[in-house]
Amino acid sequence: MTAYRVADNAPPGPARHDSSAQPAPALQPLSLEGRMLRALLHAFGDPPVQIALWNGERVGPAEPVATLHVPNRSTLVRLCRDPDLQFGELYSSGQLPIEGDLGRLIEVLYQGSAHPGRNSISALRRLGQWLHRRPSNTLHGSRENIHHHYDIGNEFYSLWLGSTMAYTCAYFPTPEATLDEAQNAKMEHVCRKLMLRPGMTVAEAGCGWGGLALYMARHHGVKVRAFNISREQIAFARERAKAQGLESNVEFVEDDYRNIRGSYDAFVSVGMLEHVGVENYPGLGEVIRGCLKPEGLGLIHTIGRNRWKPMHRWIDRRIFPGANPPSLKQMMDIFEDSEFSVLDVENIRLHYAKTLDWWWRLYEESRDKVAAMFDENFVRMWRLYLAGSRAAFVTGEMQLFQVVFSAGTNNKIPMTREHLYHP
C-alpha cells in the first residue's frame, strides 16, 4: 500500500504534453513527501513523468515516458528546493536514476517549463544570484569560460563529433545525410552565403578546431585568419592545417575576437556568439565594421531563442558557463549601430535536433571510453547535456540562426538566394 494512489483506470499520459492534454491523475498525498512531489510536478506543468520513491510510492501517470527513481528523502528535498539545477546535479552524480526515454523526458520537461504555473519571479531571483557568481565575458572572463568547456580534451570530442570535428549545428540537405556529410554541407552552405571566390580574404571569429577555416581554404581558395581563445583547439587546428598542407592559407591565431585587425572580404563566426554576451554586441559590430571591406559579406551562425530568457542554470554551471543564446531582437544590436544591413536570416533549428541525435548516438557508442577518460558521473553529465540540448531544439526552446549581413551601402549583394541551392 502507498500513501498516493493513481486512479487505476486513468488513461496513459499523452505522448506529447500540452496545455490541452489531460492533467496527471489526481493524487491524494498524505505526507510531506507527497506534497513536495505534487508541487514539483506541477511546477513543470504536470508532465507525463513518474516519480518512484524509496518507500515504493509512485506519483504520476501509469504509462510515463520515463520514471525518476528517488532513493532517499534528502535527494527529494534537494530536487524540490531547486529543480532546475538539482535535476542535472543529481542525475549526473548517480543519485537520481532514470528509467525510460531520457530524450522524451527532457522534451516534456521543457514543454512543461513553459507552463504558466512556473514561478517566474523566483526563477528571476535565482537568476540574479547566478549572474553574480560566474565570470563575465571580459577578455579574462571569456578565457576562463571557454577553457571550462572546450579544453576538456580534443580526444573526448573526437569520440562523437565525427571526422569534421565541427561542434556546431550541421545542415542535412537530405534526411539520409550522415553527420559528416551534413557538417560538410553546412560549411558549403556558409561559404555560398558568403559568396567566397578564390583569392578572397576571410576573418573567422571563434574557429573551434579549425574545420570551417580549412574547408574555406581548400574548397574555395581563400586566405583565412581564424581566431580562438581555446589553446587546445588552436593547437589541434594548427596540426590539421599542417597535415593538410594548408599552413600558408590558414593562420590560426590564439586571441580574442576583439583583437581582430586588418581588412577582409568576408567575416564569419560559427558558434561563437553564444559566448559573447549581449552587452558586447555593439562592440562586436564595431570590430566587424573595422575589418570588413565595404563590399564584403558577413555571416554569424548562433544558437538563439524566440525571446530572451536566461540560460538553463545547470547547463550554465556544468557545461557552458557564461553562455547566452540571444533572441533575434538582441542580435540586432550587433548590426544597427554599425550601419550594417541584414540580408538573410535562416533558422535551421530542426537541423540541430538531428545533429544532436547523431552526437548522442555516437557518444553512447563511446560511453566506455568516456568512462575510462573521466568517470561515470561525467558520462551521465554529458549524456544529460546532449539529450537536453536535443530536446531544446525539438521543442522550440532553442533556435539556430544564420544571419548574413553587409555594409548598408553595399550594392554588390546577391539579388536572389538561388545560388545557395544551385550554384
Which residue, 62 or 114, has its beta carbon nearer to its own copies?
A: 114
Which residue, 121 or 415, has its beta carbon nearer to its own copies?
A: 415
336 binds its own copies (CB under 8 A): yes
Contact range with its own copies by CB under 8 A, out of 3-11, 75-83, 172-180, 230-238: 172-180
310 binds its own copies (CB under 8 A): no
Residue 366, all three cell numbers: 563511446
Of 103, 114, 121, nearest to 15 by C-alpha is 103
- Cell 543564446 belongs to 325
CA atoms of 309 and 345, how far apart (whole Å): 21
For its own copies, the binding residue among 349, 380, 383, 390 (CB under 8 A) is 349
For residue 74, the one-letter residue type is S
CB of 295 to its own copies, least distance (A): 12
Which residue, 152 or 345, has its beta carbon nearer to its own copies?
A: 345
For its own copies, the binding residue among 8, 9, 411, 423 (CB under 8 A) is 411
Number of residues that bind its own copies (CB under 8 A): 45
Contact range with its own copies by CB under 8 A, out of 32-40, 42-50, 82-90, 325-333: 325-333
Residue 355, all three cell numbers: 545533429
Q: What's the order of all strands across the beta sheet hosting 58-59?
A: 58-59, 49-53, 66-70, 98-100
Residue 349, all three cell numbers: 533549428
Which residue, 151 or 339, has its beta carbon nearer to its own copies?
A: 339
CB of 323 to its own copies, least distance (A): 20
- Cell 581582430 belongs to 260
Contact range with its own copies by CB under 8 A, out of 26-34, 239-247, 347-355, 372-380: 347-355
CB of 290 to its own copies, least distance (A): 16
Query: In degrees to the nearest 10, what's the CA dihedral of 364, 366, 369, 373?
Result: -70
For its own copies, the binding residue among 116, 121, 198, 418 (CB under 8 A) is 418
Beta strands 58-59; 66-70: pairing state: unpaired
For its own copies, the binding residue among 8, 116, 422, 423 (CB under 8 A) is 422
- Cross-strand pairs, 62: none
Beta strands 223-228; 201-205: pairing state: parallel
Of 30, 86, 37, 43, nearest to 58 by C-alpha is 37
Which residue, 201 or 347, has its beta carbon nearer to its own copies?
A: 347
Q: CB neighbours of 30 closer than 8 A, spacing ≥ 6?
A: 3, 4
Residue 141, CB-side half-sphere exposure with 13 Å CA sphere: 15
Of 93, 98, 94, 121, nearest to 109 by C-alpha is 98
For its own copies, the binding residue among 101, 255, 286, 337 (CB under 8 A) is 337
282 binds its own copies (CB under 8 A): no
DSSP class of residue 317 equals I
Which residue, 171 or 257, has its beta carbon nearer to its own copies?
A: 171
176 binds its own copies (CB under 8 A): no
CB of 409 to its own copies, least distance (A): 5
φ, ψ (nearest 5 deg) of residue 66? -160, 160
413 binds its own copies (CB under 8 A): yes
Of 210, 163, 220, 161, nearest to 188 by C-alpha is 220
Letters for 89-128 (x = contact with its own copies by CB under 8 A, - = none) are ----------------------x-----------------
What residues line the site for its own copies (CB under 8 A)? Answer: 18, 111, 171-173, 175, 306-307, 327-329, 332-333, 335-337, 339-351, 394-396, 399, 408-411, 413, 415-418, 420-422
